[in-house]
Structure 1
Amino acid sequence: MFKITVYLLLFITFSQATDKIVCYFSNWAETRPQIGRFDVEDIDPYLCTHLIYAFIGLNEDSTINILDYQNSIGNNAIRRFNNLRLINPELKTLIAIGGWTEGSERYSDMVSTLTTRSIFINSTIEFMETYGFDGFDLDWEYPNKRGGKPGDKENFIQLLAEMRPVFDERGWLLTAAVNAAYKSVNICYDVVGLNRYLDFINLMTYNLHGSWDNVTGHNAPLHPAENDWDMLLNVDSCVIDWIKRGASPEKLILGTGTYGKSFTLTNEKENSVNSPTLGAGELGPYTGEFGILGYYEICANILNGWTRSWDDTQLVPYAFNGNQWVGYDDVKSLQLKAEYAISKGLGGIMVWSVDTDDFNGICGEKSPLINQIKKTLNGI
């Protein structure tokens, strides 16, 4: 209760600064079955201040690779996406390059020399001018990891330094999505450099726990559990760490997830946080991935008999049924995270992604999670 009160007391102080709602759209959501299918036209153009189309990729020659060309270009998904600004002229649209499946090796090669960086920047200019985005989001996962090299940390900053004047000349936003956890920050990022050249930093303060832990853990706990095996794998610790390393609070956009990390319990009677697991949870019927459930799948499960619990220490919910367990965010926990972002003077809230919120209103209000973030940041 004390923490909640503090967030509310500080709300007014920072309400003007914490004004961005940066939402990713995963274009493969258009291929999900039945009620899981989410098209560009399902996006409410007034829900977020910034929309990011995910993803494009990188060719071996350091030029832009338009992934899923048939959908993005053939079906005009990119054009339709940017046309959302015709409905809401204040909306900003960005394109994201990278993502988990792209890996790191090609990005490491691209940043390694002046020649390959120049090829990439010229390709980026051509892409941006052709398709008319307002900004470019670098989602390299991750420098010096997953096929990357130690020089990535410095070379990434050099790339940004070379991109910055080009983007300033054209009035484009330059942003990046970054791993929030301290161990990865040590390996991957020069935080001061990122802060110098980026307009804002999308902090991926989620995926902090998952089936790789062998025990249940929340996707994005605001604070550590009392018996947490790593007291720094939580949203608050990540934010404090990034600020201590040199990130300006107003440039940090607090990442939130409209999905949960799921597990299969070893013993269904042991269903609290840090209970032993056999691995990832079962496939979601619409998202179709082991260990991940969209919020609309989770809230439907709760309506159909799953037990919901609230963790008073981590300030997040979790739910379970039989040997299945999921840690996720709901309206209550996202209100607290939005209030937390305000209390820290952060630039706003980032959401992955618009297409796994309850956009159909299966459980009530449409897109309740993002709507709650918007209400909180607007002081409603």
Structure 2
Amino acid sequence: MKLLILLTLFVALAAECKAKEVVCYVMTENDISSKIDKSLCTMIMLSFGTVDAYGNIGLPSNFASYKALRTTNTKVLLALGGANNGKYAFSQIAASATVRATFAQNCLNVVQSNGLDGIDIDWEFPDSNERANFVALHQAVKNKLGSSYLLTTAVSVGKWLLETNNVYDIPGLSATVNFIHLMAYDMHMDEDWDLSAGVNFNAPISANSGDSLNKGIDYWLKGGAPASKLTLGVPFYGRTYQLSDPAKTAPGSPFLMFYQRQDSYKPSYNVYCSRFTSWTKVRDTFTLCPYMYSGSQWTSYEDEQSIIEKAKLANTYNLGGVMSWALNHDDYNGVCSSCKWPLLKALNSGIGRAASCSGSVPVVVTTTTTQKTTTTTKSSSGTGTITTCTSTGYFAYPGDCTKYYQCAWVGYAPYIMACGSGLKWNNQAKYFTLNLITME
């Protein structure tokens, strides 16, 4: 009995030591620092500090308010670069050992003088001839920061960059940084290069053709990145198209180009959630993503259920955690329901952290399969299935101790997960244990 207790405690402690990260990017130009629930983030990325070709660093707006979010359990890092700043500057910095050293020293100065936990480099994106320079830049910064501070980086999961142009030295980068944040979104959009895909999903979990979360994760893992260093990024925003024919609304339908030039092309969750009651909503069972349409407008979006499905991939692949872009897009004021931070709470819930929206229920959508036939999930051993939740919480899967399921809402489908190699679910402890305890 004593051995059993010790083994159970060992597994529990090991699980705690490997608790997954929840990385939260926030755009600092809007000061929502007082609204952020720090318990829902293990890292907060202040986005974005600027860089120039000489290695100088500029601090983002409202920096003082945001850096005060740092606690024992929540680290605060300065994110440098971004989609609209840094590509040219990073290229120039990385090409010179002297400028790399200057930049690295400036990173250390900023971290130490502001009481930060580290630096995040968001270079979007290096060219194929900059593979070595990309790693050299990170190495220079990490060597200067040392083990006392974190260095993380944000990267693409797109085939065009990963395979076609081979821009990342994955083993070299993995050996240098503490975490690699996979920007697993913007896979489809209203651009001429994506015209043949038609209206499509911003961040599909699976896809017969084109990019997907599964493909991106798999590439980084096969390329040599340790799963424990990868965080899976999810979007808190949608992508809107203008349909060529309002009568053709299925994914893949043709669209009119350049609708993105309008302000509404990339709506935040706190904007499009108000459309839930008036637009037609559909959930695709292959990509596990919802979309909605009204008239000629078609939007790929995220909701609590799709965020949980994405977060579950971090468990499936045993990744180091999840990442969100960006906190500003969530319903932090509870405008669309009684729940504040519904997507961030769903992201936490999906990886097993305690967070829920007790006053919120998912919007009912029509379910359809547009790409691939799916079947009802059954246990791999024993008998029994679970198709509808009758109460909320974590439970043993019927007839199979190697699985468990989570019910976030009564009356909706559960989220079924595997315990992991050599582990079984203890329904009394609501925890994994070694193969010595049953699920009774």
Shift of 1:135: 1.2
Normalised by the length of structure 1, the TM-score is: 0.84
Contact 2:185 2:235 in 1 (8 A): yes
Contact 1:78 1:131 in 2 (8 A): no
Query: Does the alignment pair 1:363 with 2:312?
Result: no
Query: Does the alignment pair 1:183 with 2:160?
Result: yes
**Which amino acid in the other structure matches residue 243 of structure 1?**
L
Counterpart in 2 of 1:20?
21
Query: Does the alignment pair 1:239 with 2:217?
Result: yes
Go from structure 1 to structure 2 and tell me whether the alpha carbon gap of 1:168 and 1:131 turns closer, same or farther (over 3 Å shift). Answer: same
Counterpart in 2 of 1:34?
none
Q: How far apart are the structure 2 equivalents of 1:280 and 1:308?
A: 23
Query: Does the alignment pair 1:172 with 2:113?
Result: no
Q: Could you tell me which of 45, 70, 84 is aligned with 1:52? A: 45
Q: How far apart are the structure 2 equivalents of 1:79 and 1:353?
A: 19
Q: How far apart are the structure 2 equivalents of 1:96 and 1:218?
A: 27
Shift of 1:61: 1.8
State the Cα deviation string for residues 6-45 of structure 1 (Å, max 9, x = none). Answer: xxxxxx9x965451100000113x1xxxxxxx52212221
Go from structure 1 to structure 2 and tell me whether the alpha carbon gap of 1:114 and 1:296 turns closer, same or farther (over 3 Å shift). Answer: same
State the Cα deviation string for residues 108-130 of structure 1 (Å, max 9, x = none). Answer: 11111111111111111221122
Query: Does the alignment pair 1:311 with 2:284?
Result: yes
Counterpart in 1 of 2:347?
373
Q: How far apart are the structure 1 equivalents of 2:324 and 2:66?
A: 17
Query: Does the alignment pair 1:296 with 2:270?
Result: yes
State the Cα deviation string for residues 89-126 of structure 1 (Å, max 9, x = none). Answer: 31100110001111512211111111111111111122
Q: How far apart are the structure 2 equivalents of 1:323 and 1:115?
A: 54
Query: Does the alignment pair 1:111 with 2:94?
Result: yes
Q: How far apart are the structure 2 equivalents of 1:63 and 1:151?
A: 24
**Which amino acid in the other structure matches residue 121 of structure 2?**
L
Q: How far apart are the structure 2 equivalents of 1:100 and 1:82?
A: 22
Q: How far apart are the structure 1 equivalents of 2:189 and 2:65?
A: 35
Contact 1:281 1:324 in 2 (8 A): no
Q: How far apart are the structure 1 equivalents of 2:259 and 2:336?
A: 22
Contact 1:282 1:324 in 2 (8 A): no
Counterpart in 2 of 1:137?
120
**Which amino acid in the other structure matches residue 89 of structure 2?**
R
More helix by share: 1
% identical aligned pairs: 29
Runs of 4+ off more than 4 Å: 280-283
Query: Does the alignment pair 1:265 with 2:250?
Result: no
Go from structure 1 to structure 2 and tell me whether the alpha carbon gap of 1:15 and 1:330 turns closer, same or farther (over 3 Å shift). Answer: farther
Q: How far apart are the structure 2 equivalents of 1:324 and 1:52?
A: 33
Q: Could you tell me which of 174, 184, 198 is aligned with 1:205? A: 184
Shift of 1:280: 4.8
Q: Which runs of 5+ in 1 are unaligned?
A: 1-11, 31-37, 145-149
Secondary structure, in 3 states, of the residue corresponding to 1:222? coil
Contact 1:18 1:341 in 2 (8 A): no
Contact 1:15 1:377 in 2 (8 A): no
Q: How far apart are the structure 1 equivalents of 2:21 and 2:242?
A: 36
Counterpart in 1 of 2:140?
162
Counterpart in 1 of 2:56?
63
Go from structure 1 to structure 2 and tell me whether the alpha carbon gap of 1:57 and 1:354 turns closer, same or farther (over 3 Å shift). Answer: same
Contact 2:50 2:57 in 1 (8 A): yes
Counterpart in 1 of 2:174?
195
Query: Does the alignment pair 1:81 with 2:66?
Result: yes
Counterpart in 1 of 2:311?
338
Shift of 1:251: 0.7
Counterpart in 1 of 2:78?
95
Q: How far apart are the structure 2 equivalents of 1:366 and 1:132?
A: 29
**Which amino acid in the other structure matches residue 152 of structure 1?**
E
Q: Which runs of 5+ in 2 are unaligned?
A: 1-11, 355-440
Counterpart in 2 of 1:279?
257
Q: How far apart are the structure 1 equivalents of 2:119 and 2:81?
A: 11
Secondary structure, in 3 states, of the residue corresponding to 1:329? coil
Q: How far apart are the structure 2 equivalents of 1:151 and 1:62?
A: 20
Contact 1:223 1:314 in 2 (8 A): yes
Q: Which has the higher contact order (CA 8 A, sep 6+)?
A: 1
**Which amino acid in the other structure matches residue 159 of structure 2?**
Y
Shift of 1:332: 0.7
Secondary structure, in 3 states, of the residue corresponding to 1:272? coil
Contact 2:205 2:288 in 1 (8 A): yes
State the Cα deviation string for residues 44-93 of structure 1 (Å, max 9, x = none). Answer: 211211100000111232211335xxxx2xxxx222212122xx431100
Judge which range, 157-166 or 254-263, deviates more. Answer: 157-166
RMSD: 1.9
Counterpart in 2 of 1:147?
none
State the Cα deviation string for residues 179-238 of structure 1 (Å, max 9, x = none). Answer: 1112212432111111100101000000011111232110000011xxx5xx24010011
Q: How far apart are the structure 2 equivalents of 1:335 and 1:66?
A: 33
The size of the alignment, in residue pairs, is 334
Q: How far apart are the structure 2 equivalents of 1:372 and 1:163?
A: 34
Larger Rg computed on CA atoms: 2
Judge which range, 265-274 or 124-133, deviates more. Answer: 124-133
Q: How far apart are the structure 1 equivalents of 2:257 and 2:210?
A: 23
